[in-house]
Copies of this chain bind each other. A is one copy, B any other.
Amino acid sequence: MLTDKDVAGPLVDHHCHGVSPAELDFAGFQALFSESYRPAPKGTTEFQKPLGLAIRRWCAPVLDLEPSCAPEAYVERRLVLGAAEVNRRFLRGSGLDELLVDTGHRSSAIAGIAEMAEIAGRPTREIARIEAIAEEAARGCSSAAGFAQAFADLLEARARQSVGLKTIVAYRCTFRIDQTAPDKASVDAAADRWFRHAAEIGKFRLEDPIIVRHGLWLGAEICRQRKLPMQVHVGFGDPDVYMHACDPTHFTDFIAAMEKWEVPITLLHNYPFQREAAWLSEIFQNVYYDVGVILNYAAPMATDILGEAMEMGKYSKLLYSSDAFGLSELYYLGALLFRRSLMKVLNRWLAEDACSVADAEEIIRMVAQENARRIYPIN
């Protein structure tokens, strides 16, 4: 049977975000491990869920506290140590080899690529989020007329410094959309509408399906030319998600088109569609997948979810990610729970006499690093 030592090797975290440098109070800390727009109901806390238990149980000792200490004591200790020290402890304790960082979500509130490298003491590489770049390009344009070119130029420039692109089409329009590239006239007309709407509401938030699709195909063309994977948000997320329409099998046509172009698609998180994602990895040559932040949320049940993801999926296509954002605890827990869960799934396979120890060791190597290194340009 495998032990902790067998899964202790460094991981490539192929999808995470930056940590928050803020000194977080009790409410602020809770807000960063919740997908809700509102606080927990009166008389309850965010700690009253598996992720809350996991933070108290496994993160507390890293801050010199007793396992499963009181929530208030945990947050207090965090403030005493200071965010810089806390972040350093968790990130350096995560056993990561390299971090691929999506810089497009609330980027002003979190550490950038260079800071992340410094905090973690490990190399970090950038993933460029298409929709955020479209919004940034729009903000830089004096009128809609210049948008298409500005977007193309900015995306190209960002892609040059990145090791992959990412789309959150699922958040913005769901996957139940026309999946072809829109023509230029439609894009221009949509940009026009968008700029007028943005002038009214005072900000650029990209939700127009035509421009989202345009960005998707602009990104796809870049990925094809530069041989970059495209990360695709799937399933689990905040209240913007219409979950039933974020089943990745609604995105089959785009995925199939990318297979023709030989663009690797990495399906992120996927919960509760981890089985669908694994099936897509079986039928499409270009599909890769992870279970991301779900292991943190499910904590003691993480093994079951990773197990489902490994039911039929190719282990040559399973990736590790923490999808951590904001709290450095989430990078640490992500790695800890992934290692534990993978060990438990493989020990079950060994107990079932379904593979050899050498097979299990190959699976660990592939999932921890080799699969990511095969598809991302990270040496």
Contacts and interface: CB of A to CB of B under 8 A. Distances in A.
Contact of A285 (B36, B272, B282, B316): B36
A38 B300 contact: no
B283 A312 contact: no
Interface in A294-352: 294, 297-301, 304-305, 307-308, 310-317, 348-349, 352
Interface in A262-311: 271-272, 275-276, 279, 282-286, 294, 297-301, 304-305, 307-308, 310-311
B49 A313 contact: yes
A242 interface: yes
B315 A48 contact: yes
A144 B29 CA distance: 55
Interface in A234-272: 236, 238-239, 241-244, 247, 249-250, 252, 256, 259, 271-272
Contacts of A220: none
Given A243-B249, A249-B243, A283-B239, A315 B39 contact: no
Nearest to A350: B300
Nearest to A43: B374
A279 B282 CA distance: 27
A53 interface: yes
13 contacts: A40-B314, A44-B314, A48-B366, A49-B282, A49-B314, A50-B312, A56-B355, A57-B353, A242-B249, A242-B252, A243-B247, A243-B249, A304-B308
B48 A282 contact: no
Contacts of A56: 355
Contact of A316 (B49, B312, B315): B49
Interface of A: 34-41, 43-46, 48-51, 53-54, 56-57, 67-68, 236, 238-239, 241-244, 247, 249-250, 252, 256, 259, 271-272, 275-276, 279, 282-286, 294, 297-301, 304-305, 307-308, 310-317, 348-349, 352-356, 358-359, 366, 374
Contacts of A353: 57
Nearest to A370: B43
A181 to B, nearest CB: 20
